[in-house]
A and B are shown apart, each in its own frame.
Chain A
Amino acid sequence: MSNSFDLFRTTEEHDMLRDAVRSLAEAKIAPFAAEVDEQGRFPSEALEALQGNDLHAVHVPEEYGGAGADALATVIVIEEVARVCASSSLIPAVNKLGSLPVQLSGSEELKAKYLGALARGEGMFSYCLSEPEAGSDAAGMKTRAVRDGDFWVLNGVKRWITNAGVSEFYTVMAVTDPEKRSRGISAFVVEKGDEGVSFGAPEKKLGIKGSPTREVYFDNVRIPADRMIGAEGTGFATAMKTLDHTRVTIAAQAIGIAQGALDYAKGYVQERKQFGKAIAEFQGVQFMLADMAMKLEAARQLTYAAAAKSQRTDGDLTFFGAAAKCFASDVAMEITTDAVQLLGGYGYTRDYPVERMMRDAKITQIYEGTNQVQRIVMARNLP
């Protein structure tokens, strides 16, 4: 037996990063989580704290002015923020989702300009794939981009866009050749200030209420041709490749939310007394906590393994990204629901954080592809 066996554990640096993000999140983000949810307002304190400590987009490579964090470090940042406030965790998560198409497929000029601006905190990045009529079947999108000399002209509607309105930069997938379906889709960088870009009213949601979700309208938006990400017709492939990586970050969000709920419930059962003793002394309660911790740890191990695959871009990343997202989000839903159960009637009220966590957990089963879609992806990419 030896303590120097370094498989199946995170490095000292990853552990130090977790400590740093946890203290930051507890001091600067947690105190506003209930209010952000209650008022459905943007968590500006979290944005400030994350940007102030260079944690808002840690994935941006150092050559573009970023922190250059690996995929596992990025997961740890998102997980620790989600543990105290899921809405706030969408800041680092969606900054990665929105900008990764540029990082994976963009020209050097696009990368330098937009990844640099993101890293410097000049603006956040959103990802525009879904449409009113194209959700799970994203390739069925209608937003059109038509070439006009050195420009492309965009028209259409994107729906469910996280951080729409607060983000400065948008990766937008649009049809450039309607004959070719998914191979006729291209990706572009659109700026909030481009003429013809506007936003719908914020959606009224069950959870992640602090994270604005809005429609984005493109009304004859003329953008220079060099804002196309990669070659014409590669936009859908880029969008899917992006999701392979970022589904791991949704898994991170799910385990973070679940950890927050488990930590809270663990403390509560020690304090709450019924039948003359702490409810933690009842085996029925202990078994629930044991199951919650077991599922959470299994989800975390799968997520970290997937993060390592994301960092290396392993051939089986598509399966692992979908599996981690699907498993971790299902588990987070179970754990947060059980946490509410362990708090009894109190858990059902907004005086305690676990009902918020339960509402927040639900979205992780839906976005970046519903868990049905994840199962389709897994089935097509069985290891």
Chain B
Amino acid sequence: MTLKIVVCVKYVPDATGDRRFADDTTTDREGVDGLLSELDEYGVEQALRIAEASGDAEVTVLTVGPDDAKDALRKALSMGADKAVHVNDEDIHGSDVIGTSAVLAKALENTGFDLVVCGMASTDGTMGVLPALLAERLGVPQVTLLSEVSVEGGVVKGRRDGDAATEQVEAALPAVVSVTDQSGEARYPSFKGIMAAKKKPVAELDLDDLGIDADEVGLAGSWTKVADITARPARTAGTVVKDEGEGGKQLAAYLAEQKFI
């Protein structure tokens, strides 16, 4: 039976560019260059590796985002994913992670899946809780923050590197996993992959298609509200430690105070 893998990917503002907020305190996604979140590239990569190892698998990439988010899907398709699902609806604008996870969960039920792969966090929101929310909504096990992952005989296995210990974890499919930036370098799209991506199917869905009420999502449906935004102050000169015999101790004291050591 074909292993159905779905990778959730996010279209995010380019972190090397100028990132801004819109008047309604949401991330400005119109006026800035966007791309497939770098952390999600690891998810696509692991999904493709699992698919290659299985020999009979289908990789779908799923995104919830505005029109331009199709660029993120196209990138994932050019890396080798088979098809894409784009959930795009004006009413989703401003959703927090609760709202987004509701939309993604419905889309995943709609698409069908054996394995859902996510990145460890988005490079814009950096919440990192979406995989857990998804698993909860879908009622399936979650194995998160894996730096190694494989699927064998209906079970997803992986390694989670913690501060104090390394865990070997596994779950029966269907399941949700998230992978870290240590899971293996993401491939670059090849010329053939780029040309092939154009012909791959991209399904467009809106809230109606998924049977979601507009007031469950968007700014109105969000559990969190952004009250105010202040740009990070310009960097200050920093602390200069002059070595007058006690420099080493002072450095150590500073690092300890900042909880680095």
Contact = CB atoms under 8 A, between A and B. Distances in A.
B191 A58 contact: yes
A73 interface: yes
Interface stretch (B144-152, B192-200, B246-254): B192-200
Nearest to B189: A20
B122 interface: no
Interface size for chain A: under 10, 10 to 19, 20 to 34, or 35 or more residues?
10 to 19
B74 interface: yes
B190 interface: yes
A20 B194 contact: yes
B41 to A, nearest CB: 10
Contacts of B198: 12-13
A73 B195 CA distance: 11
Contacts of A73: 191
A13 B195 contact: yes
Interface of chain A: mostly helix, strand, loop or mixed:
helix
Contacts of A16: 74-75, 78, 189, 194, 197
Contact of A53 (B75, B78, B190): B190
B188 interface: yes
B188 A67 contact: no
Contact of B192 (A21, A24, A67): A67
Contact of B191 (A12, A23, A54): A54
A23 B188 contact: yes
A68 interface: yes
A12 B195 CA distance: 10
Interface in A14-49: 16-17, 20-21, 23-24
A13 B194 contact: yes
Contacts of B192: 54, 62, 67-68
Interface in A210-254: none
A197 interface: no
Nearest to A11: B198
Given A16-B74, A16-B75, A16-B78, A69 B191 contact: yes
Tell which of A53, A55, A58, A73 has the most Cβ of chain B within 10 Å.
Answer: A53
A39 to B, nearest CB: 26
A20 B195 contact: no
Given A16-B75, A16-B78, A24 B188 contact: yes
Nearest to A14: B194
Interface in B162-215: 187-192, 194-195, 197-198
Interface in A57-100: 58, 62, 67-69, 73, 77
A58 B75 CA distance: 19
A62 B196 CA distance: 13
Contacts of B191: 17, 54-55, 58, 67-69, 73, 77
A16 B189 CA distance: 9
A303 B197 CA distance: 27
A119 to B, nearest CB: 11
Contacts of B197: 16
A77 B74 CA distance: 20
Interface in B26-63: none
A77 B188 CA distance: 13
Contacts of B187: 53
Interface in A98-125: none
Contacts of B78: 16, 20
B110 to A, nearest CB: 28
Nearest to A25: B188
A62 B188 CA distance: 19
A192 B155 CA distance: 51
A351 B127 CA distance: 41
A54 B190 contact: yes
Contacts of A55: 190-191
Nearest to A21: B188
B122 to A, nearest CB: 19
Tell which of A16, A62, A73, A77 has the most Cβ of chain B within 10 Å.
Answer: A16
A326 to B, nearest CB: 28
B229 to A, nearest CB: 27
A53 B194 contact: no
A296 to B, nearest CB: 21
A73 B188 CA distance: 16
Nearest to B35: A19
Nearest to A28: B188
Contacts of B190: 20, 53-55, 67
A24 B75 CA distance: 14
Tell which of B191, B195, B198 has the most Cβ of chain A within 10 Å.
Answer: B191
A363 B145 CA distance: 50
Contacts of B74: 12, 16
B239 to A, nearest CB: 24
A284 to B, nearest CB: 28
Given A20-B188, A20-B189, 18 more contacts: A12-B74, A12-B198, A13-B194, A13-B198, A16-B74, A16-B78, A16-B197, A20-B78, A20-B190, A21-B188, A24-B188, A53-B188, A54-B192, A55-B190, A67-B192, A68-B192, A69-B191, A73-B191
13 contacts: A13-B198, A16-B78, A16-B194, A17-B194, A20-B189, A20-B194, A24-B188, A53-B190, A55-B190, A62-B192, A67-B191, A68-B192, A68-B195
Across the A-B interface, the 7 shortest Cβ-Cβ residue pairs: A67-B191, A20-B189, A54-B190, A24-B188, A16-B194, A20-B188, A69-B191
